[in-house]
């Protein structure tokens, strides 16, 4: 989708960009932002679903469900905010949108926090698994 920006004048000096090209660039940017928010949320949910298959004890499943809830709670409103805050409906001139800063900062903070929580969850699980695997190999080598 990002390659389509070039068709509508992205990368050219503003003087050479047509009003139609600027409007289409705004529409593509709008669609890209929506798709980006959706992909961020669904990727983290997919990792959580993988963790549910790998870590099957009750405590781990509860933690993973809580993480999935947290990810959903911030992903859905941020996606809706991106959809609602700027709707490029003009055919000839680019739409005016509100500042991008608030949703970008909130999205970055929430996604970084979700990533850190996912790492904090999985690292002890893997270390525990690795140490038990190492002990099993050591015991089998001794006997």
CB 57 within 8 A of CB 129: no
CB 78 within 8 A of CB 100: no
> Which pLDDT tens digits describe the chain residue by residue (143 residues)?
655 655 556 666 667 677 777 777 777 878 888 899 999 999 999 999 999 999 989 999 999 999 999 999 999 999 998 888 776 555 545 555 655 667 888 999 999 999 999 999 999 888 877 766 656 555 455 44
* Distances, alpha carbon 135 to alpha carbons 17, 57, 86, 128, in Å: 66, 21, 57, 11
pTM of the model: 0.74
């Amino acid at each position: 989708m990002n390659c389509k920006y070039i068709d509508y004048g992205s990368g050219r000096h503003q003087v050479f960009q047509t009003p139609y090209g600027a409007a289409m660039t705004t529409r593509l940017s709008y669609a890209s932002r929506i798709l980006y928010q959706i992909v961020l949320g669904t990727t983290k949910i997919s990792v959580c679903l993988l963790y549910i298959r790998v870590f099957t004890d009750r405590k781990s499943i509860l933690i993973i469900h809580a993480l999935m809830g947290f990810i959903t709670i911030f992903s859905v409103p941020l996606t809706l905010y991106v959809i609602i805050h700027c709707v490029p409906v003009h055919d000839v001139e680019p739409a005016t949108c509100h500042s991008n800063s608030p949703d970008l900062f909130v999205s970055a903070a929430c996604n970084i926090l979700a990533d850190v929580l996912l790492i904090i969850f999985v690292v002890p699980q893997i270390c525990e698994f690795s140490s038990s695997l190492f002990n099993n190999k050591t015991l089998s080598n001794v006997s």
